[in-house]
Chain A
Amino acid sequence: MGELITYLLTVDYVYAGLVERPTLEEMAQVINKLNSRAAIGLEKLFLIPMSPRTEAKVVRGKKRSPHHKQVDPGIEVPLIKTALQLIMDYLMKNFSAEEQAMMRLDWFIIEHSLCKYSRLQKTLQEI
């Protein structure tokens, strides 16, 4: 089973109450390891430096290879942690408790939002 599908299934089991929730450190490790849309979302938001995974796309103007280069976790995980914390703090400050409960605000929502931001960026910029 691939890493993305394993991650998504594990999240399902967290919501089912079977598996422990991840810590912030673990969530940052997951985002670094998946090395996919959530990390790209953080780059597009300028919350972590642009890495080889995105630079390659920008330079060549082609679609990313599925085997794009992973960034050294020792460098990137602390940056991702800081970014996730900033986002969580801001969302908790700007969404009411009722809204947070309704959207089920947690690390997974933030990871998922980062993925969607990377997909929706162009449309969002037109607003």
Chain B
Amino acid sequence: MATRVLGNPNTQLTFKVMDIFSNFISQHKMSQAASHENQLIAELNSSMIELVGLLKNWSTAAQNTNNANQQQPLPSSNPLHSNTSQGVEASVWVITGDPPSGVTNLYQMLRYLFPIIAAVSQPIPPPGCEKLYNKVLKSKDKFLPYCEFGPSRVGSLMEPSPFAADILFLPESLVNGSTFRGVLFNTESAHKGITFWNSLAEWELFTQEHDESYYFAKGAYGQPTKYHDPSNVAAYWEAGKLWPTYLAEYSHSRPPFMAT
């Protein structure tokens, strides 16, 4: 029960709360177990006090584990490397091995779908996952949780790419990157790697030569919005002019995520 309570982030129980709880129990202990009922209550109180003590020990042990973990070398791309925030709930399951079911459900989805990115050729669905695979394989952009393996994202990295190292600092990178995200995502054009234009005139010619469904899927992100629309591309070309100036502000460091 304790694991379930502390493992549930919704409860937001802290050990300060548990201390207050412990004091309350100590002050309200039955002095004399006059009846069988009172005796049971006294035993329960005693168990609860032990439980509080146990939880405190877990907290200390978990903190030690976290400290030890932080000293272990992790890959530089690992976000935990720079993170020092460790919740009590996060600590308790490390000790008890009993995470909230939501976490295991998410893991299970990732595990079921992992063969899709790991398979050299056609992935074989785990037993019972045929329907899931049919759905995900029909639209990987929409359903595949491994974002770097979606066909649009893969297409956006084909040369010429808005995200190629040699053009990252040029206006064309931001313009075509915005066009990719703001128009092309989850279309045949993106899947084929056609995500780069050298001018607005070039883009306009492309749109005249192709049916709109070739380069624009209205529901690509769910509900349509004004921000996902081919009519915005002209504005991207205007905004692109400011891109080098913006990046120049960060000539000695990478722009922070939230500022970008």
Contacts and interface: CB of A to CB of B under 8 A. Distances in A.
- The yes or no verdict on A and B being binding partners is yes
Given A66-B225, A86-B93, A18 B79 contact: no
A76 B177 CA distance: 31
Contacts of A42: 102
Interface centre among B86, B104, B110 (most CB of A within 10 A): B110
Contacts, number: 204
A117 B145 contact: yes
A112 B145 contact: yes
Interface string A16-39: 111111111111011000000100
A99 B116 CA distance: 12
A101 interface: yes
Given A113-B109, A117-B106, A120-B109, A21 B257 contact: yes
Contact of A86 (B83, B90, B222, B255): B90
Contacts of B10: 46, 48-49, 79
Contacts of B144: 116
Interface in A80-127: 81-83, 85-92, 94-95, 99, 101-109, 112-117, 119-120, 123-124, 126-127
B85 interface: yes
Interface of B: 9-10, 12, 75, 77-80, 82-83, 85-87, 89-90, 93-94, 99-112, 114, 117-118, 128-129, 131-132, 135-136, 142-148, 153, 156, 162-163, 165, 168, 177-178, 180-182, 185, 221-223, 225-228, 232, 247, 253-258, 260
12 contacts: A8-B185, A22-B79, A22-B257, A23-B83, A26-B257, A44-B102, A45-B101, A91-B107, A92-B80, A106-B77, A109-B146, A117-B109
